[in-house]
């Protein structure tokens, strides 16, 4: 099963992705995690990714498609995956040819997302208030058209992400028929 989780930062994608991964036995892959790992590398790509992510901007589509494609070519992703943070733009969605079965939009308000992010204990370098607000703006500008793209394909499912974790998980499991 190939699942994409979409939602603004703080919507609970990683929580739900990890719960689903345990339940259905396919790996969870967060592009945010990939980019944070790359940013630690002392390479030109690592420095570029770090500067771009820390400023709250998106990695360009061609580079993102290349990086995600390299990860998904690994053997552990051949039977399926749960993907978080990709595709983030309509261009990425159009060029990503990987047979997605379900797209789950975990919908939370901007205010709820910022409130949750303020409560996180794992303060990261890329989570300044300014960078977070910028990413939320970018979500509305670039990722909302992705939702429409998948809605037209008939594989988008909306989930109210402002409920308890267990209720959201049960809702997603019902959608996935698991």
**Position 156 pLDDT exceeds 80:** yes
Task: State the virtual CA torsion across 57, 87, 78, 175 in degrees, nearest 10.
Answer: 130
Phi-psi region of 66 (alpha: psi -120 to 50; beta: other; left: phi over 0): alpha
Q: What is the pLDDT of residues 75-99, one digit of tens each?
A: 999 999 999 989 999 999 999 988 8
Q: What is the pLDDT of residues 98-143, one digit of tens each?
A: 889 999 999 999 999 888 887 775 656 556 777 778 878 888 999 9
CATH code for residues 2-176: 3.40.50.300
Phi-psi region of 33 (alpha: psi -120 to 50; beta: other; left: phi over 0): alpha
Q: Where are the domains of the chain?
A: 2-176
Strand partners, 20: none
- Residue range 42-62: average pLDDT? 89
Q: What is the pLDDT of residues 106-116, one digit of tens each?
A: 999 999 988 88
Token couple for 165: 């974790």
Residue the block writes with tokens 């499991």: 173
**pLDDT over 70 percentage in the chain:** 96
The Cα angle at residue 152 between residues 147 and 153, in degrees rounded to 5: 100
- Residue range 149-176: average pLDDT? 97
């Amino acid at each position: 099963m190939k699942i994409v989780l979409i939602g603004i930062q703080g919507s609970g994608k990683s929580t739900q992705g990890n719960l689903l991964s345990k339940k259905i036995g396919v790996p969870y892959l967060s592009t945010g995690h990939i980019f944070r790992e790359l940013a630690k590398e002392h390479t030109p790509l690592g420095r570029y990714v770090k500067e771009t992510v820390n400023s709250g901007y998106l990695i360009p589509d061609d580079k993102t498609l290349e990086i995600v494609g390299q990860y998904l070519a690994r053997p552990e992703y051949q039977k399926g995956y749960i993907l978080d943070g990709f595709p983030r733009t309509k261009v990425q969605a159009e060029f990503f040819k990987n047979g997605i079965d379900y797209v789950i939009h975990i919908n939370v308000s901007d205010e709820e997302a910022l409130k949750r992010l303020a409560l996180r204990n794992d303060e990261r370098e890329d989570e300044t208030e300014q960078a977070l607000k910028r990413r939320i703006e970018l979500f509305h500008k670039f990722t909302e058209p992705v939702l429409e793209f998948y809605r037209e394909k008939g594989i988008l499912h909306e989930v109210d992400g402002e409920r308890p974790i267990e209720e959201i998980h049960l809702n997603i499991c019902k959608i996935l028929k698991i």
